[in-house]
Amino acid sequence: MKIVILAGGGGTRLWPLSKQEFPKQFLTLGSEYSLLQQTALRFVSEIRPEDIVVATNSRYEEIVQRQLSAIEAIQGVQILVEPARRNTAPAIALSIRYLEERRQAKGDDQVLVLPSDHLIEPNRLFLDYLHRIKTAIAKGKIVTFGIRPTQPDTGFGYIKIGPAFDDFSYQVEQFVEKPPLTKAQQFVINPRYYWNSGMFAFSINTLWSSLEKHMPEVALLRRSSLD
């Protein structure tokens, strides 16, 4: 599996600790490592650093380089600097194109895309789930990860689950973007709603097919060269 870590956001949710010039993915928050460093370290026991790509923009390139270089275990992690700051889908598409062109990734290779600012514990359980979803990915599914909400929150997107897909996952019935408080209060007591974690796993072919169907202008990146 290839890993794409999105580290170009300027999140200020934890202001004043997190600011535009130093957003939360670079904070340590009581740990020895920043959230970005923890995200990269999460996979080193099973995935080569060369198969991990951190996508960022020129504003944060120096910080990303400094933080990754500080840890011997993640030497070899690739840094991809976006030519312009765009939304998530273009950043993912550019990262996949990078994996194809520079890392010789194939169409049936599986990719996990995740933000750089999540705390995930226990890590062993998370890695076990990555193994369990490989069959669904091989069947052409895009897998996303939901988090059981603990409070009504209007700052998160939500996932409404549908019928069971297998013994531990469900089909997605609906994505709900940042609802008003009244809706969020309903979602927190409804077991069919989860916070949208922003993590996705898919095969490269599935990703391009989905973009061609829903975002053809972004899918054009597959025909472009990074040179």
What number does CATH give the domain 2-223?
3.90.550.10
The domains of the chain are located at 2-223
> How many Cα atoms sit within 13 Å of 42 on the Cβ side?
28
Segment 201-227, tens digit of pLDDT = 999 999 999 999 999 999 999 988 887
> Which of 27-36, 140-149, 208-217 is predicted with the least confidence, judged by mean pLDDT?
27-36
Segment 168-206, tens digit of pLDDT = 899 999 999 999 999 999 999 999 999 999 999 999 999
How far is Cα 157 from Cα 59, in angstroms, rounded to an integer? 26
